[in-house]
Copies of this chain bind each other. A is one copy, B any other.
Amino acid sequence: MSVPSADVEAVARHIALEQSLEAPEDLVRTRGVEALVGRIEAIEPVAAAPPGAAAFVARISYPAELCSGQLPQLLNLVGGNISFHPRVRVADLELPPSVLARFPGPRHGISGLRHRLGVEGRPLLCTALKPRGVDSREIARMAGEFARGGGDIVKDDHNLVETSLDAFAERVRRCQDAVHEANAATGRAALYFPYMSWASEDLDRALELLACADVEGILIAPMLMGLDVTRRIGRETGLLLMSHPSFSGGCYVGETHGFDHGVYLGTIMRLVGVDASIFTNSGGRFRFPRETCIEISRRLRAPLGGLKPVFPVPAGGMTFENIAPMAGDFGTDTIMLIGGALLGHSDDLCRSTELCLRRIEEQFAAPR
C-alpha cells in the first residue's frame, strides 16, 4: 500500500476488516465474531519506494473458512472490496494447505501437456490462427501447415469468433482435421486449441461440438467467461486449457492497486486450473517490465501445495528475434507464442515454422 505513514495502521486495519466481515468494529464486537476478522501480522516500510511516496507491506492473515472452499469467495476474500482502493495492491498471496486442498488446480500442467505432445527438453512453439475474416478453409490450411512444419500447438486467435454454433463447428472440424492429417504425415502429435467464447446458454453445446471433433484443448479468457466457469470446464471436460488474459489487465497494470502481475497471471491462474497462462511479454507490443514477466513465470512453476506447475506463455508481438531473450528469461518449460510474425514470415508457413522451431532448438541444444 502507498499511503501517508501516519495512516498505515489504520489502512491495514481497514483492509483486514473490509475483506473479512465488512462491518463496523462495534458491530463485530457486540456480535462476538472478532475471530473472523483478518489479523495484521506485520507492517514494514518498502525500502525502494520512490522519493516522496511512502509505501508499506502489510501482511494480513484471514481465517481459511472465509473462502468457504469456493473460488469466487477466495477471490472476494483476497481482492474483493479492496479492489476499489487505488493505493492498495495485493503484492503476494500465500495459501495454507487447507485452502489449497480445495483447489486441485490444473489437470495436466506442464508434464501432462508435454506427455500429450511427446516433446521434452525444449520450449513448445505455439501460433495463433488469424485474422478473422479469412475463409475457414484457409484458416484450416494454416493450422495444417504449422503442424506440418513441426509446431506444437496452434490456437485460434481470441478474435476468431463465429456468430453461429454451426459455423464454429465447421471451422473447428476443418482445423482439427488439418492438424490430424499433418500429424499422420509427420508422426507427431501437434494440438489444436479452438477459442471457447460463447454465451453461457451455448457453452455446453459448444463443448459437445469440440468433443465430437476430437479436440483436446481450448483457449479461453477466464475474465470474459468467468474464472470459476473456466475452472469448471477444466475439471469436468478434461480439456487442456490455455488462458488468454483479455479483459484482465485492470487487475494488475496499475502499479499501486489490484494484484501483483504474478499473483493474478500466475497463482490465480493455477487455482483456476489452466495448464498454460498467456501474458504479454516484455519486448513486444505491450510494456510489462522484464522482471515482472520472469516473476509471472516463477509463480506458474513454483511449488504450490499439490498443484501442478503451469506453462508460462510469453506473447503479445513476439518475433523470431524474441526467441533468444525468451529462452534466457523463461527456460525450457515455456510455450513461445509467435502469432502474426510467424504467419507473416513468408508465403510458406510450413517452412517458416521449421525455421522458427530450429531457432528454438538452437537455444536448447546440448553443448558439444
Interface size on A, residues (CB 8 A): 86
With most chain B CB atoms within 10 A of its CB, the pick from A14, A24, A229, A287 is A24
The number of times this chain is found in the oligomer is 2
B199 and A246 form a contact (CB under 8 A): no
A252 within 8 A of B: yes
A132 partner residues in chain B, CB cutoff 8 A = 21, 33, 36, 66
Contacting A227 at CB < 8 Å: which of B24, B76, B226, B232? B226
Residues 82-138 (chain A) with a chain B CB within 8 angstroms: 82-86, 130-134
Residue of B nearest to A197 (CB): B72
Mark interface residues in A160-202 (1 if CB within 8 Å of B CB, else 0).
0111000000000000000000000000000000000111110
Residues 44-103 (chain A) with a chain B CB within 8 angstroms: 65-66, 68-73, 75-76, 79-86
Contacting A83 at CB < 8 Å: which of B20, B249, B341, B343? B249
Mark interface residues in A188-229 (1 if CB within 8 Å of B CB, else 0).
000000000111110000000000000000000100111111
A84 and B131 form a contact (CB under 8 A): no
Contacting A221 at CB < 8 Å: which of B24, B76, B86, B225? B76
Closest CB pairs A-B (n = 9)? A226-B226, A83-B249, A33-B133, A254-B254, A250-B250, A80-B246, A200-B232, A250-B258, A72-B224
> Could you list which residues of chain A lie within 8 angstroms of chain B, going by C-beta atoms?
14, 18, 20-24, 26-28, 30-33, 35-36, 65-66, 68-73, 75-76, 79-86, 130-134, 157-159, 161-163, 197-201, 221, 224-229, 231-232, 235-236, 245-255, 257-259, 280, 285-288, 316, 339-341, 343-344
